[in-house]
Structure 1
Amino acid sequence: MADRIPAQRGGPGPGGLVVVLGGGIAGLAAADRLSQAGWRVRIVEKDRRCGGVHRARQIGPYTFGVGSIFYEENARLFDLAPGLRNLCPTVMRVQRRIAPDGAILHYPLEPREFLRQSPLRLARSVVDLAWSRLWVRRDGTLDAIARQRLGGSFFESTGLASYISRFHHVSPREIDEVFFFRRMAYVERFTRIGALARSAARSLLSRAPVNQRTRRPLRVRPREGFEPIFERIERRLAASGVEFSLGDALLSLRREGGLFHLRTASGSCFAEAVVSTIPLDSLHQAMFGVGSGLVSLDMTTLFVSAAHLDRRLGNVLFNFHPRGQWKRATIYSRIYPDAAGRDGGFDREFLAVETTIPPGGSHDPQRIFEDFRKHMTVLGLARDLTLEGHERVENCYPLYTPGSGAILEQALHRISRSGIILAGRQGRFEYLPTSSGVILRVMQELDAAGLFAAAPEMAA
């Protein structure tokens, strides 16, 4: 990055250089939109490939992966390059969870489960819910709002309390209630009084099991991994003039007059605007020399094969059982059926198993695998499990502890007042569960920054 914009250049405007920090979905979407608006764009990414946390691993006959693999039919990601949708086959996502008693139930939780308990348990739950709505007061913690909205008995009996503790490695009493609204939006919606009333009416009219509800198929990343998607996006952006500086870590960033001075592992440059989609704490460190005080959870992903998995497990399985450190398993052999069985030339199932790492914790795949193997074997859900590989994934989830909201606002304000545009789940320390949600949020931030003015030649 030896390129420099002359310091005497006029005020920011299309035609100047915008540096986009991060080459994940958020950064690629920002680069695409800025390039269309007439800016010269350079993506700076510390890894040697684009895609962010989305990456695949080929181990023997198996293709494993890290990152979400599902996309809705009209996903905004497909707009970033021609033909992306056709690269992604359709599949029915079948989500299940292991309940506290070991039963295999539908995921996510649905109001009908509350309503279809035995008469005695339902009566107790209704009384508990009514009492909780009247007397449980929100105190800013996830525990209080979950008990107020669900009732203590339902919160505990469904395994939701166990899942939350497993996810964060601390009690729900040590998590800010913002997690309920950002990470548990579905639960927040269905526990509204009106939603519960409508669900009760539907339940009385239909006795069909929850897992027989009609669902739309989704698109899924190509069988061979994420590379076909991100390579095609990168080629299209490069053809439109976007520059890529891959394997190039940001070292420092500061404002100098009307320009931004960036120093990276490969050199330095001046830019008229900077859009950051990298972890907020990393940017704070580069700008001010200290961390922001925000904490993110890393994740250990295990790549596992199995001689047998219970057919009831679906193709995405969540752990709501009181035992086991793992939180979610994605069973690729059921998502890509031609990749397993006799047609694929081998008979084992293969899956990725995710476990969050506590702050300051270590990546210990063998220990986590032994815990997973024992848990699934004791429950009679799996046989002959083998650890094929593993990966540590950094900055997967924001940790919303009480008081982190104030720290976040302070960090956002301190960075934003310099003129840097923060976007994406990493850039703004937000939980955004879908690629479409990430891209939409990026567009909103770019719109608010006013970077989409037409270039002079485009306005003629």
Structure 2
Amino acid sequence: MEMIVPKAPTNEMPIPSAQHVLVLGAGIAGLAAADTLNRAGYRVTVLERGSAPGGAHRSHQIGPYTFDVGSIFYDDKGLIFSLAPENRELCPAVHRIERRIAPDGKLLSYPIEPRELLHWGYPKLSKALLDLLLRRQITRLDGTLETICLARLGRTIYTDTGLRSYITRFNHTDPRLLDEEFFLYRMGFIERQTRPSALLGHVRRALFGQAFRAANLRPSVLRVRPRDGFLALFTPLQQRLEAAGVVFAMNEELQRIEGTPAGYVVRTSAGTHRCDIVVNTIPLDTLHTALFGTPSGIGSLDLMTLFVSARRLAPTMGNVLFNFHTTGRWKRATIYSRLYSDPAVAREYLSVEHTILPGAAADPETAFAEFKAQLEGFGHAEDLRLEGHDRVSDCYPLYRPGTHALRPQILKRIEATGVVTVGRQGRFEYLPTSSGVIRRVLEELAAAGLSMPADMKQAAGPTP
């Protein structure tokens, strides 16, 4: 389907205050885009398929427990607080303490510490180091996640630390069938720690008995979403924008985008919108289908979150737990009872995340049974109960082979229509923090000629 492309603004063009921008999505990227565009003088409408702002981040109140979908942590100076500074004081300051279940069932630090390998004993450690050196010499990269992991780590370290098990369950796909882009973007810590200079540093510190990452072993101080849930964080952002003139069109599912000489016609489940500019923050594949009538060829993983309570959890579990064991489909658990202390709540409670392939059925009861058997079997938990669950679509990029080459082609085709696409989902990018999302939104809007106010430029800081 060929589109008529409306004349897009450029950096040299003045910004008419009458121009109307339709922002697709009311997640953090959409809210940041709406704020920036509104400050720049555009008339802004935010189109959202859900009933509340926040995108994939949403909370559920079940009895005395508040559960969430999505990460709840924010840097104390995060850019999300520049959108509504009063929100910072609503978000409690906490120490994030991360642990993982190792292949032997023990609770160890997260991420993997090089010093742990010293406890393997001389025979296994020697085998691991020889394997690592040999793999670096003989392995030819073929673009797959499996091969680059073997080349950087060797098979012994790759498998026996539980890393292969973790990345397999994260993607619900064998690493041999995944693009190496996952290693480069989602496994940044391991990518950096396995560079030759870093490995030499690890060996030197081991020989002289020095600490590997003493400073990083201290719990990090962050803020978490308000005690009452994500609505208490995102509703003030929506209200601020509405007070400034931004219009929110909620509960509208995007169906079609058509270009005309006068602008764009955007059809939704609730009606039709007309605008001069479209700024997209929703999943790239959804946008591609709305523009061209066909899928893009790239996919995303859904996220199923189990809401669980427990009579007891191991004191050494921390407040965020990752699954590096060979069993269980869950990847990460966030323990709210250790972040929001409340004597009136007798049981511990946590969310447990599982990724799901596109189109696959969710099975929360079986997933919970596996989680319960694993944690109670190791003695890390007692009397686990499933309180509820939720599923959110298109949460993580799925790095199938060829994705690295296909993504820029898709973006180029979309950009040819004049639609500006920004954010984590809008550009199929891995952006692990809300500040990273907001910073990239500001950069992409500026690059598209959609003016960025000076105060937001200062808040965003230098381009990384």
Shared fold per TM-score greater than 0.5: yes
Structure 1 residues 184 and 14: alpha-carbon distance in aligned structure 2, compared to 1, 3 A threshold: farther
Instruction: Please point out which of 180, 188, 196 is paired with 2:183.
Output: 180
Report the alpha carbon displacement of residue 122 of structure 1 after superposing the two structures with TM: 2.5
Partner SS, residue 431 of structure 1: coil
- Whether 1:93 aligns to 2:66 is no
- Given that 2:302 and 2:395 are in contact with CA atoms closer than 8 Å, whether structure 1 keeps it comes out as yes
Instruction: Please point out which of 20, 26, 30 is paired with 1:27.
Output: 30
Query: Which residue identity lines up with residue 295 of structure 1 in the other structure?
Result: G
- Given that 2:114 and 2:212 are in contact with CA atoms closer than 8 Å, whether structure 1 keeps it comes out as no
CA displacement 1:233-281 (0-9 Å, x = unmatched)? 1111111111111112222101112511112233223212111001111
Aligned counterparts, 1:48-447, within 5 A:
48-114=51-117, 117-203=120-206, 204-206=208-210, 213-338=217-342, 343-344=343-344, 346-447=345-446
- Given that 1:112 and 1:200 are in contact with CA atoms closer than 8 Å, whether structure 2 keeps it comes out as no
Residues 150-159 or 200-209, more deviating:
200-209
Partner SS, residue 370 of structure 1: helix
Partner SS, residue 232 of structure 1: helix
Q: Match of 1:4?
A: none
- Given that 2:306 and 2:364 are in contact with CA atoms closer than 8 Å, whether structure 1 keeps it comes out as yes
Distance 1:54 1:360 in 2: 21
Residues 265-274 or 74-83, more deviating:
265-274
Distance 2:403 2:336 in 1: 36
Report the alpha carbon displacement of residue 211 of structure 1 after superposing the two structures with TM: 9.8
- Whether 1:43 aligns to 2:43 is no
Report the alpha carbon displacement of residue 287 of structure 1 after superposing the two structures with TM: 1.3
- Given that 1:19 and 1:41 are in contact with CA atoms closer than 8 Å, whether structure 2 keeps it comes out as yes
- Given that 1:14 and 1:453 are in contact with CA atoms closer than 8 Å, whether structure 2 keeps it comes out as no
Partner SS, residue 388 of structure 2: strand
Distance 1:56 1:123 in 2: 48
Cα RMSD over matched residues? Answer: 2.1
CA displacement 1:347-404 (0-9 Å, x = unmatched)? 2110101111123311111111111111112122111111111101111111111122
Structure 1 residues 438 and 305: alpha-carbon distance in aligned structure 2, compared to 1, 3 A threshold: same
Report the alpha carbon displacement of residue 207 of structure 1 after superposing the two structures with TM: 5.0
Distance 1:29 1:324 in 2: 37
Distance 2:452 2:282 in 1: 25
Query: Which residue identity lines up with residue 443 of structure 1 in the other structure?
Result: L
Residues 196-205 or 70-79, more deviating:
196-205
Report the alpha carbon displacement of residue 60 of structure 1 after superposing the two structures with TM: 0.3
- Given that 1:365 and 1:390 are in contact with CA atoms closer than 8 Å, whether structure 2 keeps it comes out as yes
- Given that 2:97 and 2:219 are in contact with CA atoms closer than 8 Å, whether structure 1 keeps it comes out as no
Report the alpha carbon displacement of residue 209 of structure 1 after superposing the two structures with TM: 9.1
Residues 286-295 or 402-411, more deviating:
402-411
Distance 2:103 2:409 in 1: 40
CA displacement 1:135-158 (0-9 Å, x = unmatched)? 111110001111111111100111
Distance 1:210 1:126 in 2: 23
Query: Which residue identity lines up with residue 192 of structure 2 in the other structure?
Result: R
Report the alpha carbon displacement of residue 453 of structure 1 after superposing the two structures with TM: 7.2
Query: Which residue identity lines up with residue 121 of structure 2 in the other structure?
Result: S
Distance 2:400 2:263 in 1: 36
Query: Which residue identity lines up with residue 264 of structure 1 in the other structure?
Result: T
- Given that 2:202 and 2:212 are in contact with CA atoms closer than 8 Å, whether structure 1 keeps it comes out as no
Distance 1:145 1:375 in 2: 30
Q: Match of 1:452?
A: 451
Report the alpha carbon displacement of residue 38 of structure 1 after superposing the two structures with TM: 1.1
Distance 1:228 1:240 in 2: 19
Distance 2:88 2:159 in 1: 41
Distance 2:452 2:83 in 1: 20
Unpaired stretches in structure 1, ≥5 consecutive residues:
1-6, 455-460
Instruction: Please point out which of 13, 16, 20 is paired with 2:15.
Output: 13
- Given that 1:295 and 1:399 are in contact with CA atoms closer than 8 Å, whether structure 2 keeps it comes out as yes
Distance 2:33 2:434 in 1: 13
Structure 1 residues 337 and 188: alpha-carbon distance in aligned structure 2, compared to 1, 3 A threshold: same
Number of residue pairs matched by the alignment: 442
Distance 1:108 1:116 in 2: 16
CA displacement 1:408-427 (0-9 Å, x = unmatched)? 23321211111111111111
Partner SS, residue 263 of structure 1: strand
Distance 2:424 2:213 in 1: 35
- Given that 1:309 and 1:382 are in contact with CA atoms closer than 8 Å, whether structure 2 keeps it comes out as yes
Structure 1 residues 435 and 152: alpha-carbon distance in aligned structure 2, compared to 1, 3 A threshold: same
- Given that 2:97 and 2:220 are in contact with CA atoms closer than 8 Å, whether structure 1 keeps it comes out as no
- Given that 1:106 and 1:210 are in contact with CA atoms closer than 8 Å, whether structure 2 keeps it comes out as no
Structure 1 residues 41 and 222: alpha-carbon distance in aligned structure 2, compared to 1, 3 A threshold: same
- Given that 2:205 and 2:212 are in contact with CA atoms closer than 8 Å, whether structure 1 keeps it comes out as no
Distance 1:324 1:187 in 2: 23
Report the alpha carbon displacement of residue 444 of structure 1 after superposing the two structures with TM: 1.3
Partner SS, residue 96 of structure 2: coil
Unpaired stretches in structure 2, ≥5 consecutive residues:
1-6, 8-12, 454-464
Partner SS, residue 83 of structure 1: helix
Distance 1:69 1:257 in 2: 43
Report the alpha carbon displacement of residue 314 of structure 1 after superposing the two structures with TM: 0.8
Percent of matched pairs sharing the same residue: 51
Structure 1 residues 207 and 450: alpha-carbon distance in aligned structure 2, compared to 1, 3 A threshold: closer
Relative to the length of structure 2, the TM-score reads 0.91
